[in-house]
Amino acid sequence: MNTLLILAIILFGLMAFVGGKKGVRSYFSLFINFGILLIMLFFMLDPKMNPIILTLIACVAIVSVNLFYVNEVNLKTKLAFVSTMATLVILFVFIYLMTNLSMIQGFGEEEIDELAPYSLMIGIDFVKVGVSIVIISTVGAMTDVAIAISSPMRELIYHNPSIERKELFTSGMRIGRDILGTDTNTLFFAFIGSYLALVLWFKDLSYSIGDIANSRVFVAEVVTILSASIGIALVIPVTSWVNAFYLTRKNE
């Protein structure tokens, strides 16, 4: 507990020093988002509630906190919000289909021993829970990319009001391409860092490549990473188009 407190204090100090008021708001947004997720999980325990609908509501709240609370309500955050929500709607059908086809819901055999004393008859559709996990893992990355594109595009139109829509859209796409590679690699290394012990366990158990590729735990993380990466790739043209369309509307 002391270690967690020390790390939290160091993080707060650095965010306040580097980011000022916005850094402080970013720090407290972590706890707000954590509270949103706890409320979502509380309602999800009710069998009458649909986990997917609860997740979508939580995503709207989380994106609103990340954009409007941290960066305040302005044109760039509004356009980033619209872009994120539009991409999430497009991506939702894909995530639902992929989660069903890959059958990643529930628990893998690596986790069965720990869960053996407990009953799994909790009245919750694990397919929907699996979809919820992927959506939650995806929406954060899309929000970061959306605001990272909206902000410089707003600066471009501010300093060059006569810029054409096509040129502004192209500029947004160029910005997005620079972000695409780094963000997808970040997701990959986050997976490796979180599941390094699992990879070592696979090696100790002499898992073949086929065994690893068919492990539910491994496949679930890969599907999550790929879905988040697809979301990042998709939000770039969506955000570029939304910003280009709205920002140049006055010129036309």
pTM of the model: 0.81
Closest CA to 244 of 141, 189, 164, 144: 164
Q: Nearest 5°: CA angle at 32, between 24 and 192?
A: 90
pLDDT tens profile 52-62: 888 889 999 99
What are the residue ranges spanned by the domains of the chain? 45-247
Which one of 1.10.10, 1.20.1300, 1.20.1640, 3.40.1010 gives the CATH number of domain 45-247? 1.20.1640
Dihedral sign (CA 198, 203, 205, 210): positive
* Cβ(173)–Cβ(236) below 8 Å: yes
Q: What pLDDT digit, counting tens, does each position of 196-241 carry?
A: 777 777 777 777 777 776 677 777 777 778 888 888 889 999 999 9
The pLDDT of 36-44, averaged and rounded, is 88
